[in-house]
Amino acid sequence: MSIESWMGVGDSLVHATLAIHEPPKGMSRTPGTIIKTFDFEYNPAQLSLSRSAEWKVTPSQIERNGAVPEFMGSQAREMSVEIFLDRSGDPESNDLLKMMESLLDCCEVTSTSVAAKQPSPPWVVFEWGSFRTARFTAYISAVQAHITMFGTTGIPIRATCQLQLHEIPSQTAGQNPTSGALTAQRIHRIVAGDSLQSLAWREYGNAAAWRSIAEANGIDDPGQLTTGTELVLPAAEEVRT
């Protein structure tokens, strides 16, 4: 398969992204500040999604046809995705090596979480356009990097990275002690004209909630928003005004 045919590469395509976040503090299930947004240059050729349910069967002497199974619960989703990296057009560049290292670092604890005495690797959010089934908050349990081409100096210039993602479920309905609402967070990509105040008004009906968005994303200057940057929009019950 040629590079250009890897999911029909073109400027008109919506490219998949992997947002790498600091883990949350305390008992929150909302990812922390963004460490890095990994934009897929070539969309995955395929995704593997899986989910399982656990059942328990207790044998009984009086049941001739076997005991009725008891449903114990559902497991979180898992996803396997392959990322294709290529810098063969610039064999002196070490960009590919840096990208590989940022993915491998997803299996190591962050210095921020260590300082907060809650050591944890980053949390990630995979997103690909309107394909909502594959969008979920997760941790990366494994990264396999296969280098397939090197430059003349030995620098990797082409590789595929296989990621194994495990969903971190959001808080389910009824767990919010004040409202019983569903805890949820979203990712918003900044477009021209956006401000933290306008986002807060659209999301929460209160422009003063911009401070919670700034805090969740480590923003010191709310007047400097870069188009294309992804922001975490905290769950409504985590917003303070």
* Better-predicted residue by pLDDT, 102 or 8: 102
pLDDT at 224 over 50: yes
Question: Mean pLDDT across the stretch 52-73?
Answer: 81
| Out of 35-39, 82-86, 129-133, 155-159, least confident range | 129-133
Please determine whether the domains at 11-54+68-169 and 179-241 fall in the same fold group of CATH: no
Contacts with 221 (C-beta within 8 Å, 6 or more apart), sequence order: none
Report phi then psi at 208, rounded to 5: -70, -15
pLDDT at 177 over 50: no
Residue 148 has a pLDDT of: 93
* Better-predicted residue by pLDDT, 101 or 29: 101
CATH number of 179-241: 3.10.350.10
CA distance 174 to 39: 35
CATH number of 11-54+68-169: 2.40.30
Residue 141 has a pLDDT of: 94
Question: How confident is the prediction for the chain on average, in pLDDT?
Answer: 82
Of the chain, the percentage scoring pLDDT greater than 90 comes to 29
* Better-predicted residue by pLDDT, 133 or 23: 23
pLDDT at 122 over 70: yes
Enter the tokens of residue 197: 């105040």
Enter the tokens of residue 183: 């805890």
List, for residues 35-56, the tens digit of each pLDDT value: 988 888 888 888 899 989 888 8
CA distance 226 to 230: 9
Neighbours of 10 (CB within 10 A): 8
Residue 173 has a pLDDT of: 41
pLDDT at 145 over 90: yes
* Maximum CA extent, the chain: 74
| Out of 1-15, 64-78, 102-116, 201-215, least confident range | 1-15
Question: Mean pLDDT across the stretch 193-222?
Answer: 85
pLDDT at 86 over 50: yes
CA distance 31 to 138: 9
22 confidence band (pLDDT: 50, 70, 90) = very high
Locate the domains of the chain by residue range: 11-54+68-169, 179-241
Residue 64 has a pLDDT of: 72
List, for residues 100-110, the tens digit of each pLDDT value: 999 999 999 99
